[in-house]
Structure 1
Amino acid sequence: MDKTGHFDLCADVFGGLGRRCGASEAGRGHPRKGGRRSRPRRTAGVSVAYEPPVGEGVGMVARTGPFWDGVEGRAPIPPAAATLGFEFIDVDIDNGTIEVAFTGTEDFVNPAGNVLGAFLAAMLYDTVGPALLATLGPDQFQSTAELKVNFLRPVRPGRIIGKGRVVHRNGDLAFLEGTLADSEGATIATASATARVIPLDQAATQP
């Protein structure tokens, strides 16, 4: 974590390795020299709707909880995320944004040879959810109440980049959005979601 409260971690989290490295260059998984992103974390004058709750995000030296334990290798990555080839790239907890990547394999394709929409929806689910999870405390979790997906164009197997954002949070209710892009940067699907922040010990009984 740097002096701005921004985390630059990248994921080689499979098998619980939790490798730390610089954030990827242009979202392609190649760290720049010195481990810094190729673009600034903030743009002056831009208004952001999301504000982290008091005591969360800003000034935190280290974070724990289901999301951070998986990213930093203290816990194994969930099997569903591992199936999708989940890779953590970068997060900005102050602005409630996250960047991740997935691997669309030949096992995911439909008869036309494109990645099946259901797998893209699952990738969006695992994009918007972590955007919120990254901002929560160690004893909190999130339950997705609604997920709406728009499929914009087909995509062949390969690397897929997910970007998620906490648009607004009002108490325990959070509104999220996410996008998926192919290796050329073309947007292939978008999603909006509504989620509730719940106690971690209730996660097993929630949708």
Structure 2
Amino acid sequence: MDKQSFFWRIMAGELPPPRAAQTLGAVFLHVDGEAGLAELQFDGKPEFTNPAGNIQGGFLAAMLDDTMGPALAATLKQGEFAPTLNLNVSFHRAAVVGVLTGKGRVIKRGRDVCFLAGELFQNGELVASATATAIVRAMTK
């Protein structure tokens, strides 16, 4: 964990949050960089709904990615980033317009390859879960 990394600079307000996170209405509730844990709240907006009125699965997948990613980003050194290589999502129940809470964690962090897991909840019920693989790389400008 390096407090000068881009993630911690975003958390300190020194850098703007990613636009995708802004679109999803992401708000950090808890981050533990030592343990590789993150908990976020998302705004399931009416603009995210499918014809049935439920939040479209792609937005739920993005919320999960934006939950697991910060759990890993909080562990990175300055000059590192970790793009997602693989994202596997399971949908457990429909999500409706409203607040969703994501919980993400680093399962195993190797030198380059990292394994992540996360869950997305609404009103205390599991909506979707995911696993992901990410790879640590040096940032280039």
Query: TM-score, structure 1 length as denominator?
Result: 0.66
Separation of aligned partners in 2, 1:93 and 1:65 = 11
SS in structure 2 opposite 1:135?
coil
Aligned length: 141
Deviations 1:112-142 (A, max 9, x none): 1110001000101111111100011111110
Partner of 2:5: 65
Indicate the residue corresponding to 2:104 in structure 1: 164
**1:82 corresponds to which of 22, 26, 31:** 22
| The one of 114, 125, 128 aligned to 2:65 | 125
Counterpart of 1:151 in structure 2 is 91
| Greater percentage in strand | 2
Which residue in the other structure is 2:130 paired with?
191
Over the matched positions of the two proteins, sequence identity in percent amounts to 45
Structure 2 gap segments, 5+ residues each? none
Aligned equivalents of 1:70, 1:143: Cα separation in 2: 17
Whole-angstrom CA distance in 1 between matches of 2:88 and 2:76: 23
Check if 1:135 corresponds to 2:80. no
CA distance in 2, matches of 1:171, 1:177: 18
Read off the aligned partner of 1:120 and give its amino acid letter. Answer: L
Shift of 1:185: 1.0
Is the aligned partner of 1:99 residue 2:39? yes
Look up the match of 1:43: none
**TM-score when normalising by structure 2:** 0.95
| Equivalent-residue separation in structure 1 for 2:101 and 2:90 (angstroms) | 16
Equivalent position SS for 2:30 = strand
- What letter is aligned with 1:128? M
The residue identity in structure 2 corresponding to 1:86 is A
Aligned positions of 1:32-51 closer than 5 A: none
Structure of greater Rg? 1
d(CA) in 1 for partners of 2:128, 2:116: 15
Unaligned 5+ segments in structure 1 are 1-55, 58-62, 203-207
Aligned mates of 1:80, 1:143 — CA distance in 2? 14
Runs of 4 or more, structure 1, over 2 Å off, are none
